[in-house]
Amino acid sequence: MTDLIQPVILCGGAGTRLWPESRGDRAKQFLPLTGAQSLFQQTLARTPADAGFAAPIILCGAAHVATVGEQIGALQASLLVEPMARNTAAAIALAVARADADTLLLVMPSDHVIADGAAFHAAIAKGARLAQQDWIVTFGITPDAPETGFGYIASGAALGQDGFAVDRFIEKPPLADAQAMLAAGGYSWNGGIFLFRAGRMRDAMLTHCRAIFEAADRAVAAAIIDGDALYADAVHFAEAPSDSIDYAVMEKDDRVAVVPAAMGWSDLGSWQAVHTLAAQDAAGNAVTGDAFLHDSHNCLVRTGGKRVSLVGMDNVAVIVDGDDILVMPLNRSQDVRVAAKARE
């Protein structure tokens, strides 16, 4: 059994919720949204070697290999390159297929914010103890609002001081259900961070989603290795059904634990969320770049190298990227997809 926890960072995602900055080959995780570092770089920094973590494994698509290389810099890391997107179960299966059975894999999205690193590490310590007992561990984000955009986890029996057996997973709920869960307590958001012994996940996959694991396993066996990067074989990987790890494994397995954690988590899933987390001036404005704001409040302005002037505007986002300029009320942030779809 290894002493180190092996970070596995999922970089395969794309998405348009932060369009126009996030699009095509520039995924959200590679953008500097909350400071100088990208969310991916912040994720890397969250599991440093001096805190007992192994050099990270980065799961990404071929289109992002160059960006990953740039953003890693001198950090020691290895890449598992997905020849095509096959959702999280197949991606994680690549890492599982490569790992020793007793290695603890800590799977993390690369596009979330975790403000409280100490709380995160404390939760990992708890999760590691459960994972050693062959629990598949998910970390539950303590809800602070009746969000309808996240999946929820209902906690069951306590597992000592470390967490709870998962009673059930609840898909993105209607508002009334979200409000009821928030009021009742005992529920947490599913943040998509997982910790498990590799052999335990291998067995679970062979039980619950054998086709996915076997395709990934063959794709690894036939992979091309280029320095620190392993390029999974495309023909084999293409045979993996596309499914999320939640559907493929977590919701089906009977030994899944949740470790609740209040760690300043955000999925930064909208420009409104970016505004909330960004440094704001006294008027509530969060500005990146050359912006002039007069009598304007609670705005998010990202100038993309242009010069943006706001006069008398409140509660809007103005996002400039290349030749694209997006203007919308922050509370309409979820509708950015309409513009992204029309434009891309």
CB of residue 295 to its own copies, shortest distance in Å: 7
Do β-strands 136-141 and 256-261 pair in parallel, antiparallel, or remain unpaired? parallel
Nearer to its own copies, 166 or 308 (CB): 308
Amino acid at site 175: L
Nearer to its own copies, 153 or 318 (CB): 318
Nearer to its own copies, 41 or 270 (CB): 270
Give dist(CA 39, CA 171) in Å, integer: 25
Nearer to its own copies, 268 or 318 (CB): 318
CB of residue 277 to its own copies, shortest distance in Å: 21
The residue written with tokens 């919720």 in the block is 17
Residues that bind its own copies (CB under 8 A): 20, 292, 294-295, 303, 305-313, 316, 318, 320, 323-329, 332, 335-336, 338-339, 342-343
Does residue 187 contact residue 155 with C-beta atoms inside 8 Å? yes
Do β-strands 256-261 and 265-266 pair in parallel, antiparallel, or remain unpaired? unpaired
Does residue 107 contact residue 193 with C-beta atoms inside 8 Å? yes
State the chain's maximal CA–CA distance in angstroms.
Answer: 62
CB of residue 21 to its own copies, shortest distance in Å: 13
- Identify any residues that bridge with 258 across adjacent strands, giving them in sequence order: 138, 164
Nearer to its own copies, 177 or 314 (CB): 314
CB of residue 173 to its own copies, shortest distance in Å: 25
* Residue 65 vs residues 24, 198, 319: alpha-carbon distances, Å: 14, 25, 26
Amino acid at site 300: L
CB of residue 148 to its own copies, shortest distance in Å: 19
